[in-house]
Structure 1
């Protein structure tokens, strides 16, 4: 499944490691150091100044203007759809 994370970016849900509120990133020294290291490697995408959340994947870090609760809902919807597909296979017409 895929998750639309805003700003024209779509990522695979299985690649997501963490979805973090942007305020936590800005208030944590360790998180700030991690972001700087990834920035030097050019593995950060999205609008850092106006972001509400940060998504960490296997290969990239994405700043996004979508809030953590909204992203959580989007990932939950994909899980529900996936579960419905699983149940539909057992139904005999």
Structure 2
């Protein structure tokens, strides 16, 4: 299954390591060094110029997304009872 992250970016749901709420970047200072290191190493991949609401972490890259972490989490869940879900 694929997850649309915003812009023209889609990734396989199996690639997702974590989905982080961008609002938490301002609160816990422990997240800031992680995101700054990803930016410095070139692992931060811009997919949209809209306001960042969440960060999707994979083994290869970190994607700042204009889609909320709650919506992305719902998109990452497998459909129930084999039915398709639109979001």
Pick the TM interval, shorter chain. 0.7 to 0.9
Residues 1:15 and 2:15 are matched in the alignment: yes
The gaps in structure 1 that reach 5 residues or longer are 86-93
The gaps in structure 2 that reach 5 residues or longer are none
> Which consecutive aligned stretches of 4+ in structure 1 deviate over 6 angstroms post-superposition?
none
> What TM-score do the two structures reach when normalised by structure 2?
0.82
Q: Secondary structure at the match of 2:39?
A: helix
User: Which of the pair has more CA radius of gyration?
Assistant: 1
The number of residue pairs the alignment matches comes to 82
Compare the two structures and name the one with the higher helix fraction.
1
Aligned residue number for residue 40 of structure 2 = 40
> What TM-score do the two structures reach when normalised by structure 1?
0.77
Q: RCO (CA 8 Å, sep 6+): is it higher in 1 or 2?
A: 2
CA RMSD of aligned residues (A): 2.1
**In 2, distance between residues paired with 1:10 and 1:52?**
16
